[in-house]
Structures are given as C-alpha cells and as structure tokens.
Amino acid sequence: MTMHKAVPVGVDAMIEDLRTLVEVESPSRDREALAASAETVAAVIENRLGGRAVLVESAAGPHVQWSGGGDPKVLILGHHDTVFPLGTLAQRPFKVENGRATGPGVFDMLGGLVQAVHGLAALEDRSGVEILVTADEEVGSHSSRALIEERALACGAVLVFEGAADGGGLKTARKGCGTFQVSITGRASHAGLEPAAGVNALVEAAHQVLDIAALGRPEIGTTVTPTVAAAGTLDNVVPARATVVVDVRVESAEEKTRIEAAFAALSPHLDGAGITVEGAVGRPPMPEETSVELFALARELAPGIEGVAVGGGSDGNFTAALGVATLDGLGAVGGGAHADHEYLMVDSMTGRANLVTGLVAALQNR
C-alpha cells in the first residue's frame, strides 16, 4: 500500500512538531493529561504520514497506533508519557538556544518520536510499517506490554526510539530491571519502659538490607541496591513496621530467576518478626544477540555509529525477550533524561531521521 506522496521535511518542521508535543504535558498516571497528549501525538502522525492514528484505551491512558498497511514488517516503538509533573512546562518552557532544544520530555522521548515520524515521511511507500506509542512506559508498561508483544511478534523487527547513548550511540543490549519492596512487621513497645517486650522492625530491616545487598554479583552485571527505607513512628516507640525498597538489574535470564528466588526466600533474623516481599524483575534482559542484524544494518547506513550495552530498561526489553530483532536508542541525541537539564542536540535530528528512513526501507524489502 502506498500512502500519499512524501513531502520533504527538515529541521524547522521537526522543531515545530517537537514544540507541539512538549507543550502538551503528559505525566505518567495522569489520564486526563495523557488523553490530550495522545490526541496530539495522533495529530502529528496523521499530518506527516496520512492515514489514521487510532487511540487504544487502557487503564493507564490511551496508546497511539498507526499502520501504513500491507504485511507488517517493522514496528516503530515509543511512548508519550513523561516523568515530569504538571506545571513543569511553566518552569521550563520549550526553547531552542545555542543548538539545543530544551523542555520536559525533549530527550525522553518526544524528540525520538518526531525523528521517527519525519524519517517515515521521507518514504513514499510506508507499507509494512506500524507505529505504537504507549502511555505507561515510565511506570512499567503494565497496560501496554501485551499489545507491544503482540505487535512485535507480528512485525518481526522492532526499532525503539528511546534517547541515544552518550555520543549518539545505539543501544544494543539492556539489563533486565525490577523493583522489590520488603515489608517487615514487628511488635511495638515503649522504648524506655520495656524495650525487650517489642520486636524491633527497624533492627530486622537492617539485617535484611545486609542480606539483600549481598545478593549482588557486579562481576556478572547483577546489581542489587537498597534505595529507600522507612520505619518507626515516634522516638520512644520500638517500631512495629519497616519497609525497604530495592532496585535490581540483571544481564541474564538465569540471574533474573536467581534473584527472584532469593527475595522469595528471605527470612527473619528476630523471633516474632515477619517479612512480606512484593515485586519482580519486571523487564527481562535485552540480550545483545537480538540486535546484531539490525545494528549491522545501521552501521552500513551510518558508518562509525557505536553500539552500547546499558543498564536502564525500555519496552525493547520485552520485544527482545521474545526473540524479536530489536534495536534501541534510535531517538534523540542529547542527555539529561528525567532531569531539569534535559536537552536534545538540534543538529543531529536530520541525520537520525535519515537513519530511520534507511532502516525502514531496508526492512520493507526483506
């Protein structure tokens, strides 16, 4: 199926669309804001590519889906939710200055979406191409995972438009990642009159933190990092409850299994204490072998571009875990994801869009 004749586009048009997306704030879990954002993303896609972008309702907010028709061959994958709360735009409005575009979400990952759309716009024939822009990537992709996996399997190749690695490198492997919460119950008592009558949940938490931290195997890429802890109510009360939150990163399915089993097996050190564990390694590892073919193709189109293994997760973890060819980090060149200094390098936008054009054209002809 051939869509309308491609219209040449350049940096000014990409900046225009980037401004449009950034100026509709889209914090995760804010369904009203995400609904407005999804409508805006759909309008940008339709304006540049023709056809119809469909809003797929979910518990997290609307996902945006578009197809160029024909047999599916490549999935363009991204998300429109951002980590910044409503009101951030007023503090950090979109602007372009000294070769950088700034504003909430420019790097993660609205700039990548714009580059993908404009790269596709350079193709007169967009058959076999699908776009999926989800509403909940920043909070775990719980409502979108099944749809992502379904379309990835149908297409057979996935291009993920998360921000580039440092220096513009592509992301050829990712660690699996997850969060665990360990909840501890003890027994309250007066800390001065009868401390021995209590079961100190904070002391139990200290034991658990040491046990948990010892699960890490950094020499093989497994990091287990306690990040948040809370306990106690008053300074003269033996605490009856405590919680410990733990960030986990792994490079292999075997380590995912080991870590999840270890958390399930945690046991109390103090008589009378109880432990409950919630969580999992929710994003499986993205193994490097799933990106080899696509990265080689990218190197032909952009000689010298680097491939990097990174610790952070994305929706590419899900597609790669299915054995679907996946290449990540095709989005904006810049930095500062999730931070106030987030930025996108404007002079890189045309080159990244051209890379999209070349990759998709090659995949259409497989």
CATH number at residue 248: 3.30.70.360
CB 352 within 8 A of CB 183: no
Domain count, the chain: 2
Please check whether residues 317 and 222 belong to one and the same domain. Answer: no
Please check whether residues 119 and 50 belong to one and the same domain. Answer: yes
The verdict on whether omega for the bond into residue 109 sits within 30 degrees of 0, i.e. cis, is yes
As a whole number of angstroms, the distance between CA 44 and CA 323 comes to 31
Please check whether residues 17 and 119 belong to one and the same domain. Answer: yes
Q: Where a domain ends, among 283, 300, 328?
A: 283
Task: Give residue 276's domain range.
Answer: 176-283
Q: What are the tens digits of pLDDT across the range 182-223?
A: 999 999 999 999 999 999 999 999 999 999 999 999 999 999
Tokens of 140: 């775990």
Residue 41 belongs to some domain of the structure: yes
- In the Cβ-directed half-sphere of 284, how many Cα atoms lie within 13 Å? 13
Q: What are the tens digits of pLDDT across the range 111-147?
A: 999 999 999 999 999 999 999 999 999 999 999 999 9
Helical segments of 176-301, H only: 201-213, 253-264, 292-301
Q: What are the tens digits of pLDDT across the range 142-188?
A: 999 999 999 999 999 999 999 999 999 999 999 999 999 999 999 99
- The answer to whether the predicted template modeling score (pTM) of the entire model surpasses 0.75 is yes
Please check whether residues 66 and 128 belong to one and the same domain. Answer: yes
Residue 4 belongs to some domain of the structure: no
CB 161 within 8 A of CB 78: yes
What 8-state DSSP symbol labels residue 98? T
Please check whether residues 144 and 190 belong to one and the same domain. Answer: no
Please check whether residues 188 and 266 belong to one and the same domain. Answer: yes
Label residue 9 by pLDDT band (50, 70, 90). Answer: low
Q: What torsion, rounded to 10 degrees, do the Cα atoms 250, 251, 252, 258 define? A: -20
Please check whether residues 28 and 127 belong to one and the same domain. Answer: yes
Question: Dihedral of CA 308/292/217/210: which sign?
Answer: positive
As a whole number of angstroms, the distance between CA 238 and CA 148 comes to 47
As a whole number of angstroms, the distance between CA 335 and CA 244 comes to 30
Residue 5 belongs to some domain of the structure: no
CB within 8 Å of 102: residues ≥ 6 apart: 92, 94, 95, 96, 341, 342, 343, 344
Q: What torsion, rounded to 10 degrees, do the Cα atoms 81, 309, 148, 101 define? A: 30
What 8-state DSSP symbol labels residue 280? E
User: In terms of C-beta density within 10 A (0-12 exposed, 13-18 middle, 19 or more buried), how is residue 36 classed?
Assistant: middle
